[in-house]
Amino acid sequence: MRPGGERRAAGWLDRFDLLRRPGGPARLRRVRLWGLLGVCVLTVVLLVAWFTPALSVRTVDIVGLSAVPEAQVRERLEIPSGRSMLRIDTDAMARRVVNIPKVHSARVQRVYPSTVRVTVVERTPVLFFESTEGAHLLDAESVEFAIEAAPIGVPKLITELPGGADPVTRAAVAVLTVLPPALYIQVDEVVARSISDISLNLHDGRTVLWGSANDAERKAAVVLPLLTREGTVFDVSSPNLVTVK
């Protein structure tokens, strides 16, 4: 006999054994009745939760905001009044919030019985460039996400055709994202003539010739000790042969 047939035969034998016991048929009917009743109760509960305000959203908890107005996030969530927690589309809500230019990522969660929690990660500027419109802020992914006054400490980019889609701009951003923090805070301007000719002008007037974004880890390892020497121009473009002028 096949394994499936053996299981079916065993099931019929169990039922037959239950019927042979005293009160067996009545007991079987009670089991079926309680099972049916449980299904009905569960169905009613789900229908009430789905179609009525019993589990409606009453609180929206938004965390992680600094530069983005909370009212703007609430507007993008688009939660209808009285909508059941079971019927809200958290993925669609998160996508709408991420469409805010200053938002890098967003997560929307249900917290029962009645709270929607939104966790936002904002974009952080690492570089900016000037245009007739103002200062364009770029994050670590070379995304232009705002035109406004650059925060204190964010370096200025000087290049021929700045922009998030420009390869030279992207190379400059890549250099800044690998700099040791102790060096990044000293950078005033990033001069990018090409993807392989990038230099850093420091606040104190010194210049670091970085070269390309290649060999970033080796350059980061030698640049800070090199800056302890006397000089004005520090060349780490070839990390195996650094020079000071």
- DSSP symbol at 180: -
pLDDT of amino acid 36: 55
Higher pLDDT, 180 or 21: 180
Q: How far is CA 162 from CA 33, 37, 209, in A?
A: 74, 69, 20
**Residues contacting 98, CB < 8 A, separation 6+:** 104, 105, 106
Report the C-alpha dihedral over residues 175, 177, 178, 184, rounded to 10 degrees: 90
Structure tokens at 174: 């890549």
Task: Let me know if 38 is exposed, middle or buried by CB neighbors in 10 A (0-12, 13-18, 19+).
Answer: exposed
**Model confidence at 228: pLDDT above 50:** yes
**Model confidence at 165: pLDDT above 90:** yes
**Model confidence at 54: pLDDT above 60:** no
**Model confidence at 49: pLDDT above 50:** no
> Are the beta carbons of 156 and 129 closer than 8 angstroms?
yes
- pLDDT digits 0-9 by tens, 184-220: 999 999 999 999 999 999 999 999 999 999 998 899 9
- pLDDT digits 0-9 by tens, 70-109: 999 999 999 887 778 888 899 999 999 999 999 999 999 9
pLDDT of amino acid 189: 98
pLDDT band at 40 (very low <50, low <70, confident <90, very high): very low
**Model confidence at 8: pLDDT above 70:** no
Distance (Å, rounded) from C-alpha 229 to C-alpha 175?
22
pLDDT band at 33 (very low <50, low <70, confident <90, very high): low
**Model confidence at 37: pLDDT above 80:** no
Higher pLDDT, 11 or 128: 128
The structure's pTM equals 0.76
- DSSP symbol at 155: P
Q: How far is CA 43 from CA 57, 90, 114, 123, in A?
A: 21, 24, 21, 45
| Position 49, amino acid | A
**Model confidence at 230: pLDDT above 90:** yes
Q: What is the sign, positive or negative, of the torsion defined by CA atoms of 225, 226, 229, 230?
A: negative
pLDDT of amino acid 84: 82
**Model confidence at 46: pLDDT above 70:** no
